[in-house]
Amino acid sequence: SQKIEQNSEALNIQEGKTATLTCNYTNYSPAYLQWYRQDPGRGPVFLLLIRENEKEKRKERLKVTFDTTLKQSLFHITASQPADSATYLCALDSNYQLIWGAGTKLIIKP
């Protein structure tokens, strides 16, 4: 069956360290994958898109990797700050629709 999985438990990281979130999928062959941030009571906000032919994408302190062999995307936040605390969702393309992971709650402790 088709599945997309993110760390189900909250991730606690010390301020200033690098936070790494994982998105694994099975039985999909996505042309691209997107990462979103969601704060309580708000809708998801787009962060980054990475295509199947791209290994890595960066935006300021954010970095996303995409390994189509491992069927995995990693999302990194370097020099993490308490303001980075939120739930992060990955979404992959499947026939022009986005299939969403359940999200990982990230907590950055000062």
Partner 1 sequence: DAGVIQSPRHEVTEMGQEVTLRCKPISGHNSLFWYRQTMMRGLELLIYFNNNVPIDDSGMPEDRFSAKMPNASFSTLKIQPSEPRDSAVYFCASSLDRGSSPLHFGNGTRLTVT
CB of 25 within 8 A of CB of 34? no
Stretch that binds partner 1, among 7-15, 18-26, 60-68, 89-97 (CB under 8 A): 89-97
Write down the least CB distance from residue 80 to partner 1, Å.
23
Surface-to-core class of residue 94, CB atoms within 10 Å of its CB (0-12 exposed, 13-18 middle, 19+ buried): middle
Nearest of 103, 64, 107 to residue 83 by alpha carbon: 107
Closest approach, Cβ 7 to partner 1, in A, equals: 14
* Span near partner 1 by CB under 8 A; candidates 10-18, 46-54, 56-64, 70-78: 46-54
Give yes or no for residue 64 binding partner 1 (CB under 8 A). Answer: no
User: Does position 45 bind partner 1 by CB under 8 A?
Assistant: yes
Number of residues that bind partner 1 (CB under 8 A): 21
Strands 104-109 and 11-14, bridge-based pairing: parallel
